[in-house]
Amino acid sequence: MKMIKIESLSKSFGRHQALDRVSFSLGKGEVLGFIGPNGAGKSTTVRILLGMLKPTSGTAELFGQDAWKDAVEIHKRIAYVPGDVNLWPNLTGGEVIDLFLSMRGAAVDQDKKEALMKAFEFDPTKKCRAYSKGNRQKVALIAAFAADADLYIFDEPTSGLDPLQERVFQDQVRKVKARGASVLLSSHILSEVEALCDTVAIIRNGKIVETGKLEALKHLTRTQIRVKAERSLDHLKEKNWIHDYSKDKSETVFLLDTNHLADLLSELQNCNVTKFESAPPKLEDFFMRHYETDEEVD
Ligand SMILES: Nc1ncnc2c1ncn2[C@@H]1O[C@H](COP(=O)(O)OP(=O)(O)O)[C@@H](O)[C@H]1O
Ligand SMILES: [Mg+2]
């Protein structure tokens, strides 16, 4: 049985169609990256899965149950973290974590909770009104990971976290996956998705434009490279894994198919490189390159 099964899901807000026949599924023990630019329809899909929005048409099932009708049963088995966590201003972070966990009904694993607070370097003694955005995210993340859920639904969960805490988040996702839980990770951070996900579903303007194994997406990503060298680099121009080769003053700039990084480094070995910069592929660029000719939906 699939943990999530969405079939031909559509949602309209008045005349605006936010989702147009979206389909994808998530198996047990899998991590699915749900990616797309702002306004693509990620949160609308997530809200339907949570039973907070009713689909206009199509079906959304979790554990074989209907997201809208069976929300009570479903919520016992899921943990959810939104991208913008609202908390009770007058309670401390620790109190809110306990409150979230007590609402789940099951006994709280105090050791696990303490370990998570430590890993995220979270101070639970402050009132929530004093927390930064990153700290509010941590409250929800700690409560989610401390819960023994079968399915974790994250909607852009790491906004406001610094790179070290992003690593902690990734470690925790790997842990829940290792014990057989499933994760839906909505994100616009390609590196996060690349690090964690088995499969991806890419959404744009309410439509799924690509689904499948991450490997299939990986060869579509390109890294921007800037090199300064004492010898000519023009032999690189001929490589079919190098694109948009150009000169910028004394430097050479191009896009590299990310899976050819090792090839590039060996090509550069005898060129007396004096400067090398690489910018990770951005999801926005990926979208720009592959879908910029698509009709814009208003
Ligand atoms: N409650 C709502 N009423 C009207 N339009 C909405 C509502 N929620 C979302 N939308 C619109 O639906 C589209 C998808 O939004 P959303 O699912 O939040 O995108 P994402 O999470 O991918 O950034 C956007 O154009 C947004 O403005
Ligand atoms: Mg959103």
Q: Are residues 228 and 259 in contact, defined by beta-carbon separation less than 8 angstroms?
A: no
C-beta of 125 in contact with ligand 1 (< 6 A) = no
Task: For residue 113, count other CB atoms closer than 10 A to its CB.
Answer: 20
- pLDDT tens figures, 192-210: 888 899 999 999 999 998 8
Does the pLDDT at position 293 exceed 60?
no
> Would you say the CB of residue 54 lies under 6 angstroms from ligand 1?
no
Checking if the pLDDT of 220 tops 70, the result is no
pTM > 0.85: no
Confidence of residue 298 (pLDDT cuts 50, 70, 90): very low
Least confident window among 40-44, 62-66, 157-161: 157-161
Q: How many CA atoms lie within 13 A of 17 on its CB side?
A: 14
Residues with CB in 5 Å of ion ligand 2: 42-43
Q: Which residue has the tokens 């390159």?
A: 289
Region for 58 from its dihedrals, namely left if φ exceeds 0, alpha if ψ lies in -120 to 50, beta otherwise? left
Contact 159, 137 (CB under 8 A): yes
**Phi-psi bin for 114: left (phi > 0), alpha (psi -120 to 50), beta?**
alpha
Give residue 256's pLDDT.
Answer: 93
Counting Cβ atoms within 10 Å, is residue 152 exposed (0-12), middle (13-18) or buried (19+)?
A: buried
Pick the residue with more confidence: 37 or 66?
66
Cβ atoms of 81 and 140 closer than 8 Å: yes
pLDDT at res. 214: 77
Cα(21)–Cα(9) distance, rounded to whole angstroms?
Answer: 5
Nearest ligand, measured from the Cα of 159: 2
Distance 225 CA to ligand 2 centre (A): 31
CA distance 297 to 186: 21
pLDDT greater at residue 147 or residue 298 = 147
- Distance (Å) from CA 159 to ligand 2 centroid: 11
What average pLDDT does the segment 252-277 reach? 94
In the predicted model, is pLDDT for residue 28 greater than 90?
yes
Q: Are 190 and 175 in contact (CB under 8 A)?
A: no
In this prediction, residues 271-286 reach a mean pLDDT of 82
Among 156-160, 177-181, 253-257, name the most confident range. 177-181
Ligand in nearest proximity to the CA of 37: 1
* Cα 236 to Cα 58: distance, rounded to the nearest angstrom: 49
Task: Pick 43 or 292 by higher pLDDT.
Answer: 43
Average pLDDT on 61-67 reads 98
CA distances from 200 to 19, 71, 143, 197 (A): 17, 25, 26, 7
* Arithmetic mean of pLDDT, 267-277: 96
Q: Convert the pLDDT of each residue in 106-120 to its tens digit.
A: 788 899 999 999 999
Confidence at residue 210, expressed as pLDDT on a 0 to 100 scale: 86
Average pLDDT over every residue of 266-279:
95
- Dihedral sign, CA of 280, 284, 287, 288? negative
Does residue 258 have a pLDDT over 60? yes
Rounded mean pLDDT, 82-99: 95
Residue 297 has pLDDT above 50, yes or no: no
Given this model, what pLDDT does residue 292 score? 57
Give the model confidence (pLDDT) of 226-240 as tens digits: 999 999 999 999 999
User: With bands split at pLDDT 50, 70 and 90, how would you rate the model's confidence at 172?
Assistant: very high
Q: Which atom of ligand 1 is nearest to the CA of 203?
A: 22
- Of the listed ligands, the closest to the CA of 53 is 1
Contacts 24+ apart (CB under 8 A), 104-107: 104/76, 104/147, 105/76, 106/147, 106/148
| Average pLDDT in the chain | 91
Residue 190, pLDDT score: 78
CA of 266 to the centre of ligand 2 (A): 41
Residue whose CB lies within 8 A of the most ligand 1 atoms, among 13, 156, 186, 203, for a mutation test: 13
Element (H, E) at 62: strand 57-62
- Starting at the edge strand found earlier in the chain, the sheet holding 251-257 runs 242-248, 251-257, 222-229, 273-279
Name the residue among 200, 171, 172 with its Cα closest to residue 185: 200
